[in-house]
Each structure stands twice: as structure tokens, then as C-alpha cells.
Structure 1
Amino acid sequence: MARRQALLLAVVAVAATVCLAPLASATYWMVGDEGGWRAKFNQTGWADGKTFMVGDNLLFMYQQGAHTVIQVGKDDFVSCNLQGKQLGSWTSGNDIVHLDKPGKVWFFCSVPGHCDNGMKLVVDVQDAAPAPVVSPAPAPQW
């Protein structure tokens, strides 16, 4: 009986490690670091050299009412099209954006003139590392 409980405990521990490891490794990125989300943001190169992974979160910090965070497609991002399709919108000043799939994600501030003055960000989200392959334990010989 004790061996069966120990084996069950080992299987549960391995399953928990495999399932929960991606959650434990998520990174919270404060966009703009101590300067936050601000005018002329794109001139800082903030995203350069950073690796964003599926499961990470972007924290946009700014004065509520002074800015916004809008997620758009590439064409609207490039042209700062304020009338384009919004894929997401945040206005609290303490916004958390969860990166839930790989690929490029484009953001800008929708206050007129802010995007044109560089308040925009693109991040390239990488697929999370695949879960480790765990070989099944040999069946116990009872």
C-alpha cells in the first residue's frame, strides 16, 4: 500500500511540474521601465534585445486620461490609423496585457498626435518552450 501511495505521489508531482512550469516562468514586463508608457516612447528602443514569450504580460503604466493603449494590426500601426480596427483597448493607467499567442503584437496610444509622435510599440512574442517529454515510469511489479 505504501509503495502504491508513493508511486501515485510521484506521478502527481511529475504531472504538476509539467503542467505548472510554463505558468511559473511567465515574465511581467513594465513597458518603458521606470519611465512608463509615454510620448516618444518608440524612440527609446525599449523592446530591443528582449524576448517576449507566450504567457508573459505587459504592464502599461501611465496617467489615466492622458494616454491609452490600443492593440491594432500592422497596417494601422504603421500608419497610426486611429479609425482602424481595435483588437484591444485599455485606459486604466495600470493596464496588464497578457501575451497569449506567438507572433507580432502592435500597440499605440489613441490620443490624437501621440502615435505620430512615437507612442507606439511592437513586440514579437515567441512560442513558449515545449513541455519536457516525460517517459512513463515502469509499471510496478506487485
Structure 2
Amino acid sequence: MAARRGRGSASGALVAGAVLLWLVLLMEAVPAAEAGTTYFVGDDAGWGKNLDWWLAGKTFYAGDMLVFKYKKEFHDLTVVGGKGFRRCKVPRKLAVVMRTGYDQVTLRRGNNYFICGMPGHCDAGMKLAVKAW
């Protein structure tokens, strides 16, 4: 009569060890999801015009959060596409307009475009383009 292998057999332990090793290697190969970094646009000055100085030296990643602080009586935050950004125009569709004075936006991978939709503000330089990796 042939011997039966039970749960404690050497081949079962070998398979379990191989599966465990495979899972450990897989976890090391895939970076853990990390909470993104939070940035306050314009630092203490807040959301305003000509913010190229604020972008300098920063690298943004998908999942990072931008916080826009501004006086809601005078400004807004409008999320637009590249065309709306270049033309300083708020499209009738596909634009997200926020007016709280403390707006939080999570960056998506690629180009992210923001303008102030108040008349003349974007044309005066109140716009921001952020590339997230």
C-alpha cells in the first residue's frame, strides 16, 4: 500500500514556502501606495499670479495634493484642460470651478492645469500648470 501524504508533508511545506517567497518578491517589486505630499500653492502668499518661482525645484507625483488658499470674494480656482489654460478661457463644459478660498486638488498623472476664472485674472498671470509623474 502506498504511503499517503498529509498536510505536514515535505512537498506541502515546499509549495507553501515557494508561494510565500513569490509573494515577498512581488511585494518588493510593486511600490507600496503612499500618501502623497501636500503642497500649499504659493506658500504663505497663497494662490496668486506668476507662480513660476513657487514651482521651481519641486517634483510632483500623482496623488500629491495642492491646496489653493485665496480670498473667495475676489478669486476662484478653475481646473481646465491645456486649451483652456493656454487661452485663459473657462470652457462651458469639463471645467471644475471651486470657490471656497481653501480648495484641495489631488494631482493626476500628467499635466494638471489651473486658472482663476475671474475676468482678466488668468490673462494677468493667475494660472498654474503642474506636471505630475
Query: For 1:75, what is the secondary structure of its paired residue?
Result: helix
Could you tell me how far apart the structure 2 residues matched to 1:66 and 1:82 are? Answer: 16
Tell whether 2:61 aligns with 1:50.
Answer: no
Could you tell me how far apart the structure 2 residues matched to 1:81 and 1:96 are? Answer: 21
Residue 37 (structure 2) aligned to one of 3, 27, 40: 27
Q: Once superposed, what is the RMSD of the aligned Cα atoms?
A: 2.6
Structure 1 stretches lacking a partner, 5+ long: 1-13, 127-142
Query: For 1:29, what is the secondary structure of its paired residue?
Result: strand
Could you tell me how far apart the structure 2 residues matched to 1:59 and 1:17 are? Answer: 32
Query: For 1:107, what is the secondary structure of its paired residue?
Result: strand
Q: Give me the identity figure in percent.
A: 39
- State the one-letter code of the partner of 2:42: G
Q: Give CA-to-partner distance per residue, 1:77-107, whole Å, 9 cap, x none.
A: 11111345443221100100011x3101110
1:133 alignment partner in structure 2:
none
- State the one-letter code of the partner of 1:50: K
Query: For 1:42, what is the secondary structure of its paired residue?
Result: coil
Evaluate the alpha carbon distance shift between residue 48 and residue 85 of structure 1 in structure 2; reply closer, same or farther with a 3 A threshold. farther
- State the one-letter code of the partner of 1:48: A
User: Displacement, 1:54?
Assistant: 1.0
- State the one-letter code of the partner of 2:41: V
Evaluate the alpha carbon distance shift between residue 102 and residue 63 of structure 1 in structure 2; reply closer, same or farther with a 3 A threshold. same
User: Displacement, 1:76?
Assistant: 1.3
Residue 95 (structure 2) aligned to one of 65, 84, 87: 87
Could you tell me how far apart the structure 1 residues matched to 2:29 and 2:38 are? Answer: 21
Residue 63 (structure 1) aligned to one of 39, 63, 71: 71
Count of aligned residue pairs for this structure pair: 112
- State the one-letter code of the partner of 1:106: Y
Larger radius of gyration: 2
Matches within 5 A, 1:1-142: 21-24=32-35, 26-38=36-48, 41-42=49-50, 44-99=52-107, 101-126=108-133
Structure 2 stretches lacking a partner, 5+ long: 1-23
